[in-house]
Amino acid sequence: MLNNVHFYATVFDEFEDIDSCIHFAGLKAVGESVAKPLDYYDCNVCGTTHLLQKLANRNIKNFVFSSSATVYGEPEMLPLTEEARLTATNPYGRTKLFIEEILRDLHASDPSWNILILRYFNPIGAHPSGKIGEDPQGIPNNLMPFVAQVCVGRREKLSVFGDDYDTKDGTGVRDYIHVVDLAKGHVSAVNKLNMDKVGCEAVNLGTGNGVSVLELVNGMGEATGKPVPYEIAPRRPGDVAEVFADPSLAKRLLGWEASLGIKEMCEDTWRWQSTNPMGYKEVSIEEE
């Protein structure tokens, strides 16, 4: 597990009036989790239990956890509500699911814990200033940063994995949410915990709209003013055809709903990537 002893000591010594914790930390690549499951269980699950113990020692019991729509596995019905069956299909998703169970057990043992579990769908985009964006190391694991690197010339073309799904254009459909909307969802969650007792509640953060891979690619083409080169490749094992959220609980419970669409997601991504073509650190492509 990552050595967090110094971090905890520094934070708790420097800040004495902490009332809430948002837990973002963890490893997050599905493919890497399959290759390195022990690293994922150690960092994500053990890291969370250690954090919870430290918070309990300080009586800090308002807790927001960054979970994921991967806990739903392959959807049995759409849109996905928070009551859908939970069945993660990879180590990354299982770490999120296990942590959710830990949090439910924790609240059952001590109802003074006040917990919101936020199940992200597919966060993309960047800060509209162009100064903060996604800068994955090596080959991107997710669609949008790969598309952005193709657009800026760092990669030759995009591989679209499968065009024969039973969807609007044959490509996979996902619920993409702008990172700014996602950030606002966390602010709403903390505000809710500071106002009310919610127990231990899971909430979807998504738009409720399914967008296909090709629709996203075309959106980036409009943002950049030129088409995005791509090729159709075979389906990847484990990919599902379509996933999108029912976000109505977030609106009822948190007073939150997504306000930004694919146009803003693509434009803000391109503003970041075009301003920072090699990411935060200027390196040559050969060094990647």
pLDDT in tens, the chain (288 residues): 445 656 666 787 788 789 999 999 999 888 788 899 999 999 999 999 999 999 999 999 999 999 999 999 889 999 999 999 999 888 999 999 999 999 999 999 999 999 999 999 999 999 999 999 999 888 888 899 999 999 999 999 999 999 999 999 999 999 999 999 999 999 999 999 999 999 999 999 999 999 999 999 999 999 999 999 999 999 987 788 999 999 999 999 999 999 999 999 999 999 999 999 999 875 444 444
How many separate domains does the chain show? 1
Query: Whose structure tokens read 């300080």?
Result: 58
Distance CA 267, CA 110 (A): 45
Task: Name 141's Cβ contacts closer than 8 Å, sequence gap at least 6.
Answer: 29, 30, 31, 32
pTM to 2 decimal places: 0.90
**Domain of residue 277, residue span:** 5-287
What's the one-letter identity of residue 196? D
Burial class (CB in 10 A: 0-12, 13-18, 19+), 268: buried
Q: Which residues are marked as active site?
A: 92
The domain spanning residue 250 has which CATH number? 3.40.50.720
- Host H or E run for residue 154: none
8 Å CB contact between 189 and 116? yes
Cis peptide preceding 237, ω within 30 of 0 = no
